Chains A and B, each alone.
Chain A
Amino acid sequence: MMALSKKMLEDEPSEVELLLPWHAAGRLNARDTRRVEDALASDPALARQYAVIQEEYAETIALNESLGAPSGNAMQKLFAAIDAEPERRPAVTAGWAARISGFFSELSPRTLAWSATVGAVIVVAQAAVIGTVLMKNPSGSFQTASLSMNEPVVRTLSGAAPPRALVRFAPDARVADITALLDKYQASIIGNANGGMFRLQFGDQAMSRDDLNSLVNKLSSEKIVNLAVPAS
């Protein structure tokens, strides 16, 4: 009985031994990584076992990669099923639209007619003010270096596109973290590019090249961002 218990204890793997596969996959925290590395440096048997694990790790990846990819039928089937889904509940914005439309439907025709007249007068007055300002200060023009080499380049920001960047998030980035980051930078995802990159747009105002570079540098230092580059 004693011999059996001793044998069982000998067979029981140590905590560090159990963590070796995650060390090979790079999924241990800093403290455990240090523990495992210290143990590997001082225990040749453990180092041999780790070499075996690295072989298993590589072959498991090779085996999975050899499985190929699904046919296009799977995607067609999925999107056909999504199209066949019943219409979803109206979103919050639709709720607001319903409330606004409800508010107007409760107004009397006379009140509505007066409101429309007042609205029309305000629009005409606004147009007159804007027209006057534009006539006094025609700032929509620009001058390029090719037209006048001896004068500085003059560019106005009016009509320029808001700043954009290509960003790759860390593989373990959570949706909540990404949402928080988008809020923090007042950014929105406007598309995806190759290699797992997302195209982000920051606000709706144009930005100088220096400001954009500084923004992208700040973005690059975020924990959940692997790569950020300015984009057009």
Chain B
Amino acid sequence: MQVLYGRHHVRVFRFGLRLVRDEQVAEDLISEVFLDVWRQAGKFEGRSAVSTWLLAITRFKALSALRRRKDLELEDEAAQAIEDTSDDPEVAATKKDTSAALRKCLGGLSREHREIVDLVYYHEKSVEEVAEIVGIPENTVKTRLFYARKKLAELLKAAGVERGWP
């Protein structure tokens, strides 16, 4: 268990934190996820990578935590707020720094878009693995990431950053 925890806890924490946006909740998630793994080790069938199994459990726990906190509505407001801040001095300053603007806008995506972007770009999961973790068809995985990227481009455009796509 210590080996498994040592290998995966940081990535599990970061994935959970990006979903729940609260460090304390994300830390609680880790304990819950690995405790579930401890209890259900016998049910792991080895059809997928261990990291895929862990991320699927993390996602399920994070959504439960979000439901408990009733934060989903607040999250939409947060995304909306980013779109409306094109004249904000902070955003104006980031225009000079595409990199910082990009990170800020990645944080402004909806929960569904954030998770798919993270799963592919950071956790480097294949189409099939993302479909397994999120529980959606493979074609939906592909189109969801495409529209997440479009949304990201819109947020960047609103922040004054043009990248030549779309």
Interface size class of B (residues with CB under 8 A): 35 or more
- Chain B contacts of A73 at CB under 8 A? 27
A145 vs B30: C-alpha distance when bound (angstroms): 56
Main secondary structure of the interface of B (DSSP, over half): helix
Taking the closest CB of chain B, its distance from the CB of A204, in whole angstroms, is 23
CB pair A175–B46 under 8 Å, yes or no, is yes
A46 vs B3: C-alpha distance when bound (angstroms): 43
Cβ-defined partner of A70 (8 Å) among B30, B98, B102, B122: B30
Given known pairs A21-B120, A27-B124, the reply for A53 and B35 (CB within 8 Å) is no
CB pair A82–B38 under 8 Å, yes or no, is yes
Chain-A contact segment, one of B71-79, B88-96, B142-150: B142-150
Cβ-defined partner of B146 (8 Å) among A17, A27, A28, A67: A17
- Closest residue of chain A to B153 (Cβ to Cβ) is A52
Tell me the chain A residues, 28-72 only, with Cβ under 8 Å from chain B: 28, 48-49, 52-53, 55-57, 59-64, 67, 69-71
Interface size class of A (residues with CB under 8 A): 35 or more
A192 vs B120: C-alpha distance when bound (angstroms): 28
CB pair B14–A67 under 8 Å, yes or no, is yes
CB pair B163–A25 under 8 Å, yes or no, is no
Taking the closest CB of chain A, its distance from the CB of B26, in whole angstroms, is 7
Q: Mark B16-52, 1 if CB is under 8 A from A, else 0.
A: 0110000000111011001100110000111111110
Show the binding face of B for A, using Cβ within 8 Å: 1, 3, 5-7, 9-10, 13-14, 17-18, 26-28, 30-31, 34-35, 38-39, 44-51, 98-99, 102-103, 106-107, 117-118, 120-122, 124-127, 142-143, 145-146, 149, 152-153, 163-166
